[in-house]
Amino acid sequence: MNSRFQKERRQPPYYLLTGLLLGLAIGFVLTMVILPVQYSNVPPETLNSTDKDRYRLMIAMAFQSNQDLGRASARLGLLRDDDIAGQLIQQSRRSQTKSDAQVLLNLAQVIQNPLAQPIVSSQSTDESPANEQVSSTSSPVETMLPSESIDETQSTAMTPQPTRQQSTAIVQNSPTPNLSLDLPFQLTENEIICNASYSESLIQVEVFDTEGEPIPDARITVTWSTGQDTFFTGFYPEISLGYADFTMTPGSIYSVKVGNIGEMITNLTASECTDDFENSFWGSIYLRFDAP
């Protein structure tokens, strides 16, 4: 047979497949490495869970500073959460620091009960005097020591307190009726703890009801010569639902009260302890309060 009548063999179009693969590879490198897509002006509801936590914390800290509940609620509404206060409470429980947890919890309580009148203690990172702004419906703070007479315009250099005091404390009524506030708690144990494994000198408080069960969300007020702080039990369920602690500064004298009418415990200060190798360290104090 004449060769000119033979069918020519057709080769598969491999060049098309090669070009497609090269195009995909170049496009991937361009969009992911060289010219990645940058999002801007996106709604907060599209953020991932970590960034949403940061967003809530920034709003809570802004509310702590300006007390503008309307603005804070509007900003949190952009997250489209079904239960705004519940999300704040859940985040406070997983916060890594006590100060962040307290700020988030304070905002959640005000959102749940907007009629609650907060008492704002304005403090800087260097622990300025506790200048209380008390609403017209609030009574003066009764837990200040008799020797405390602080002019609101006075600026005095003071010893910086530990982390808890470096945050701004906001004290307000509980969002729901908290029966523990009106119980006359009595001190049943007062013990000095010498534990060298503690990195800080603590006032450790446990609160129990009449049945001996720990009480969460019990309000504890600590005062010292230059300020006041309020916090709640229940943030350390792995220890006890009725447990809370406060970091002391050695040399300072503190007073502690649970609830509104509980017994005031005064003249609390860090004691010096010694370990087995005669090394000195500052001890802690354990206080147990029981409802009558």
Adjacent-strand bridge partners of 274: 280
- Provide the domain count of the chain: 2
Q: What is the pLDDT of residues 9-53, one digit of tens each?
A: 677 777 788 888 999 999 888 888 888 877 666 788 888 888 889
**Which residue matches tokens 């945050």?**
167
Q: How far apart are CA 112 and CA 90, in angstroms?
A: 14
Distance CA 94, CA 75 (A): 21
pTM above 0.85, yes or no: no
Could you tell me the residue range of the domain that residue 59 belongs to? 41-116
Final residue before a domain boundary, out of 72, 92, 116: 116
Q: Residues 167-187: pLDDT tens digits? A: 334 444 444 456 567 788 999
Q: Measured between alpha carbons, how far is 185 from 170 in angstroms, rounded to an integer?
A: 23
Domain assignment present for residue 52? The answer is: yes
Residue at which a domain ends, from 74, 90, 116 = 116
Burial classification of residue 148, based on how many CB atoms lie within 10 Å of its CB (0-12 exposed, 13-18 middle, 19 or more buried): middle
Are 99 and 161 spatial neighbours (Cβ–Cβ below 8 Å)?
A: no
Identify whether residues 188 and 290 lie together within a single domain. Answer: yes
Under 8 Å CB-to-CB from 92, ≥6 apart: which residues? 100, 101, 102, 104, 105, 108, 235
Residue 272 resides in a domain: yes
**Is the domain of 182 the same as that of 251?**
yes
Cα separation, 172 vs 31, whole angstroms: 51
When comparing pLDDT for 112 and 273, which is higher?
Answer: 273
- Whether 235 maps to a domain, the answer reads yes
Domain harbouring 231, CATH code: 2.60.40.10
Residue 244 confidence class, pLDDT cut points 50, 70, 90: very high
What is the structure's pLDDT at 6? Answer: 57
**290 in the same domain as 186:** yes
Is 7 inside a domain boundary? Answer: no
